[in-house]
Amino acid sequence: MAKLYTSKKLATPKMLPKKETIRFLIDYSKALSIVKIGNMTFETIAN
């Protein structure tokens, strides 16, 4: 039988971020609006 020389990968394909993390990012994206005026940038988070 062929010998495997590769060591076990630390990350498995099943590894995914928490659902809350994804939820947070999507909500954050919806709430965030960025307005650029001149050379100034304003970040607004809608509550």
Partner 1 sequence: MATVNLSDALLVKNYIAGDEKALAILIERHQSKIYGFIYSKIADRAITDDVFQDTFIKVIKTLKSNSYNEEGKFLPWVMRIAHNLVVDHFRRNKKMPMHRETEEYSIFSYMTDNSMNVEGRMITDQVEDDLRRLLDELPADQKEVLVMRMYQDMSFKEIAESTGVSINTALGRMRYALMNLRKVIEKNQIILTN
Binding site for partner 1 (CB under 8 A): 9-13, 15-18, 21-22, 24-26, 28-30, 32-34, 36, 41, 43
In angstroms, rounded to a whole number, what is the distance separating the alpha carbons of residues 8 and 14? 14
Q: Quick one: how many helices (H) and strands (E) in the chain?
A: 1, 2
Residue 3 or 6: the one with the smaller Cβ distance to partner 1 is 6
Q: 30 is written with which tokens?
A: 């919806």
- Smallest distance, partner 1 to C-beta of residue 38, A: 14
Residue 2 or 11: the one with the smaller Cβ distance to partner 1 is 11
